[in-house]
Amino acid sequence: MVKKIALEEHFLDPSTVDYWRPTMVDVAPPKTAQLFGCLTDFGERRLATMDKAGIARVVLAIAGPGVQVERDTATAVRKARASNDFLAHEVQKRPDRYSGFAHLAMQDAKAAADELERCMRELKFCGAMINGHTHGKYLDDRSYDPFWERAAELGAPIYLHPADPVAPLPAIAGYNVLARPMWGWGVETGSHALRIICGGVFHRYPKAKLLLGHLGETLPFQLWRFDSRSKPYGWNLPKPPSQYLKENVWVTTSGMYDAPPVHCSLDALGRDHVMFSSDYPFDSEGAAQFMDTVKLDESLRADIAFNNAAKFFGLS
């Protein structure tokens, strides 16, 4: 069993649980209760699950949209800070096993930047997880420039987590099975990442770092097409799309436990841009077994499972 660091591992706290519950309306109550138990446990249950999977450390982030769906900005800012303080307290209990991603109120770019800085400098977090758009505003919006500038200065990676689109996609209307994890979330999150690239965020802030789960939401598969089809349609940035992806985007294995996309991501982005995650407790079954058994050179397996994240986040 290879030693692992997992990067998309979820929890809930009193400040964010009420934002999570509406996302469970289509889930059977017993399953919701089981997930809630996992998400609110920081003791033996979570640690035993980690030990069984060979996970030495997890970077914890809140589940669900969190305060990004809050309509009152002041409330969102206050609850994000409370959530981060809660997580910091839990991390302090087991600093050898737990680290954290900041939760941010993206309704206010400056407040989000300030909270990110507090979390990085005072709470010693690893970066932040942002759950998609905030009331229809995506992270390429120029109002977020102060946030990206601060994130780049801090060296704070931003993990872009899936969220529901602003409106249902007409192309999949009537097919609920396609709406979320099977397809819709990947389309939404991959498109969001492309907006960040096309909007020039990485041109303005070349030290900014973006993480994507699910081995990059299909983007590594598309590099040649992005480059070949961008210039004729108004591409005006100094580097081709693939270069920004290779320089500024890292991907994790969360919810994608299959050899071909792993090899595609490695070939497209490079061995140091692929890391392990298990999406606990939502899509974690089979994650560790896959990492332990997928056909890879053993040094590469160790890099994906542990070494890349240890170096990227300064963890051990």
Q: Just list the catalytic residues.
A: 279
CA–CA separation, 15 vs 76, rounded Å?
A: 10
The answer to whether residues 102 and 127 touch, using CB atoms and an 8 Å cutoff, is yes
CA–CA separation, 117 vs 156, rounded Å?
A: 9
What are the beta bridge partners of residue 55? 4
Q: Count of CB atoms within 10 A of residue 153's CB?
A: 14
CA–CA separation, 13 vs 115, rounded Å?
A: 18
User: At which residue do the structure tokens 């007409």 appear?
Assistant: 170
Q: Are strands 98-100 and 55-62 parallel, antiparallel or unpaired?
A: parallel
Is residue 60 helix, strand or coil? strand
Cβ partners under 8 Å of residue 220, min gap 6: 245, 251, 261, 264, 265, 267, 268, 269
